[in-house]
Structure 1
Amino acid sequence: MWGILLLGGAAIITVWWAVRLVLVDETQRRLPDHLTLPAALGAVTGALLTEPVLILGGLAWAGAYLLGRGIGGGDVKLALSLGVLAAAAGGVTGVLAAVVAASAVTVVRSVVRRGKAVPHGPSMLVGTFIVVFHDTWQGALSHLGGAS
């Protein structure tokens, strides 16, 4: 029972954090340190305590953004935490899928807004959500298949 309560609390905090990031990025066109740095620290710490290789997912996504143009520092810091999460959900493929999905969502949003620049942080969250949801769905299906 305590595990479910802890998981529910973590989910509520994560949703609050993601909504806050989206609202700030959409209105102010920035991802503030007080939202990105604790998440990065938490993701790296969690990975170090459980599966250190997951940090490579965060470093890969953040590193790719450091090399690119037009990506802000907030996006780089967000990429660190989301890359760890995407790696936990789907390994190298999960990180690549999250990056590609985030880019695709940003392009589609820009087309819908007729070429106007759009913040990238919300798209990064959507891309990571897709990877995590897919991994969770696959795990549930395989668990159901194994139970028969």
Structure 2
Amino acid sequence: MWGILPLGGAVIIVVWWVVLLVLHDETRCRLPDRLTLPAALGAALGALLTEPALLLGGLGWSGVYLIGGVVSRGTGGGDIKLALSLGVLAAAAGGGGGVLAAAVTASAVTVVRGVAQRGTVVPHGPSMLVGTGLVVFLGACQGVLTSPGSPT
């Protein structure tokens, strides 16, 4: 019984963090450093201590956004920092394909929202969270379906 409590606490913290990010980005079109930097540093450190290859997912996604931000000025610094932590998470859930799926889903969600809202500025952070959440959910479902002892 006590083993589940730390997991439940971690889930509560992550859900609270996601809610704060979405509310802040939706109301201000900005992701604050106080929410993105600790997550990026924690994800990078966690990846380095457990599975360093996961850091490539975060660096890849944030690197693409950094280049896009320099070229088009359409990607903000908050999105770049958020991409680091979400890229590590997506890589842990689905490898390189998971990172690509999260990034493509995030872009598609932002485009659909932009078309639906006709010319209104659409924050990208919530779309990134949706894309990564979908990859994590599908990765968890796949893990449950292919766990040891279950028929494959």
Return the TM-score normalized by structure 1: 0.96
Instruction: Give the helix-richer structure, 1 or 2.
Output: 1
Q: Which runs of 5+ in 1 are unaligned?
A: none
Per-residue Cα deviation, 1:80-127 (whole angstroms, up to 9, x for no partner): 000000000000000000000000000111111013220000000000
Deviation at 1:2, TM superposition (A): 3.0
**Counterparts of 2:83 and 2:29 in 1: how far apart (Å)?**
16
Q: Does 1:78 align with 2:76?
A: no
**Counterparts of 2:3 and 2:79 in 1: how far apart (Å)?**
32
* Paired residues, number: 148
**Counterparts of 1:43 and 1:146 in 2: how far apart (Å)?**
31
Find the counterpart in structure 2 of residue 103 from structure 1: 107
Q: Does 1:125 align with 2:125?
A: no
Find the counterpart in structure 2 of residue 34 from structure 1: 34
Q: Which runs of 5+ in 2 are unaligned?
A: none
Return the TM-score normalized by structure 2: 0.93
Find the counterpart in structure 2 of residue 46 from structure 1: 46
Deviation at 1:36, TM superposition (A): 0.1
Q: Which amino acid aligns with 2:14?
A: T
Deviation at 1:143, TM superposition (A): 2.4
Task: Provide the aligned C-alpha RMSD in A.
Answer: 1.4
Q: Which amino acid aligns with 1:37?
A: L
